[in-house]
Amino acid sequence: MKVNEMMDKDFIVVSPDDNLVEVSILMEKKLRFTTPVVDDQKRLVGWITSLDVTRGFREGMKKVKEVMYAKEDIVAVNEDDPARLAVLEASEYKVFNIPVINDDDVVVGVVRTFDIVKTLSSLYEIKVYKIFEAMEEELKGVTWEELMEASAIVTRRRTGKRVTAQDYEKRIRESTFGEAIWATGGLEKFFVGLIAIGELVIARKVAQARK
């Protein structure tokens, strides 16, 4: 996924000579806490936040250029950068919004952290049973029932709890991968469980074939 698939395209831009009062009205109306500042070619030249505006108001400043951050002092990403880059930058620099530019430095969007959260959620919020469907598809000759039975056996061995194949199926139909990861406390543990299930189901298949 690229940055341009995750960015807000309904962004606003302001110019260095824009009047601060008018800019504040625009930002409030569009609910934008931060806004790219561009030149007359729409190229990125700076960045303004609503906290700069409140300071500007208090200190009697009139124009965007009096309160804006210079381009050198902000983080930006290119529209063709991998989306992960914006994720890592938001996380590292603790910024809520990142301007997106093209190869000509023209501002083409803004990546907002709540959009990142949404994208990350949707990537990881797939239902666990989808993973089992993929597993069934891959393990030719293994039925869904065999997979659920093996899963229940592995779960009983690991947790000591009485879990039937039906219980297990119900659980994976309700829970998401995200929940499973948060619940098991990490990716490796989740995988280890899956691998154990895969191993058991293959072992049972091999044993049956030998009968």
Binding residues vs its own copies (CB under 8 A):
1, 21, 24-25, 27-28, 31, 33, 49-51, 53-55, 57-58, 82-84, 87-88, 90-91, 94-96, 112-114, 116-118, 120-121, 123-124, 126, 130-131, 133-135, 137-139, 177-179, 181-182, 186-189, 191-192, 194-196, 198-199, 202-203, 206
CB of 113 to its own copies, least distance (A): 4
43 or 124: CB nearest its own copies = 124
CB of 190 to its own copies, least distance (A): 9
104 or 137: CB nearest its own copies = 137
Cα gap 146→130, rounded to integer Å: 16
Nearest to 11 by CA among 139, 121, 155, 108: 108
Cα gap 208→52, rounded to integer Å: 71
Instruction: Tell me if residue 69 falls in helix, strand or coil.
Output: strand
CB of 175 to its own copies, least distance (A): 11
1 or 70: CB nearest its own copies = 1
13 or 139: CB nearest its own copies = 139
- Name 2's bridge partners: 82
Q: Quote the tokens at residue 37.
A: 């500042």
Q: Are 80 and 4 in contact (CB under 8 A)?
A: yes
Cα gap 77→32, rounded to integer Å: 19
In eight-state DSSP terms, residue 68 is P
Cα gap 46→24, rounded to integer Å: 16
CB of 2 to its own copies, least distance (A): 10
65 or 97: CB nearest its own copies = 97
CB of 166 to its own copies, least distance (A): 23
